[in-house]
Amino acid sequence: MSSDLKRNELLKLIVLLTVIFFIFLWITNLLLYLQIGFSYDSIVTYYRGSEETFRPAKSYLGMLQESHFHFFSMAIILVTLTHLVLFTGLNTIFKLILIISSYISALGDILGGWLIRYVSPLFAYFKLVSFAILQLSMALMVLIIIYYLFSSSKSYYGANRY
């Protein structure tokens, strides 16, 4: 982390509390996904409905409202996490991979429902993989931030460490 952050206890507290909120977000995100299920069939049923279980398909308006909220919230969450990761001593290439994978997987997770509902149920695999990568990248960023927040490692922000 930057030396300013390591010296400023109030700023350190703010970052720590923010990361704690992101941990709860991560947990609730996982718990919400459990309601859908982690199988191909459960994901397809959630979006396309099922006559056997009398489950209606997700409506266009419902999906639009959900996407609207998720585009905004994921942008705020990811800009915060990735910005904090920039201040760590990680290799620049690893930072780049983490940043790109988190944004692409978030986009895939949001768009996956639309693709399942209106293009093909086979996109359930895409949605599942996108969700898994998003959860993994967010968990990694949170752990990295916590580690650098309390470690004696120096920041390499701005340095080209390849």
Q: Count the domains in the chain.
A: 1
Q: Which residues span the domain enclosing 68?
A: 3-150
Residue 155 maps to a domain: no
Examine residue 136 and state whether it is found in any structural domain, yes or no.
Answer: yes
Q: Which residues contact 21 (CB under 8 A, 6 or more apart)?
A: none
Q: Is 35 a member of any domain?
A: yes
Region 64-76 average pLDDT:
95
Q: Between these two residues, 8 and 101, which has the higher pLDDT value?
A: 101
In a domain, 127, yes or no: yes
Coil vs helix vs strand at 55:
strand
124 has pLDDT over 50:
yes
Q: Tell me how crowded residue 79 is: count the other CB atoms within 10 A of its CB.
A: 12
Per-residue confidence (pLDDT) for residue 150, from 0 to 100: 85
Residue 40, phi then psi, degrees to nearest 5: -55, -50
Answer for the pair 99, 64: CB distance below 8 angstroms, yes or no.
no
For residue 119, is it within any domain?
A: yes
Residue 158 belongs to a domain:
no
pLDDT over 60 at 2, yes or no:
no
157 falls within a domain: no
Give me the pLDDT at residue 72, please: 96
φ, ψ (nearest 5 deg) of residue 158 = 90, -15
In a domain, 41, yes or no: yes
- Confidence band, pLDDT 50/70/90 cuts, at residue 115: very high
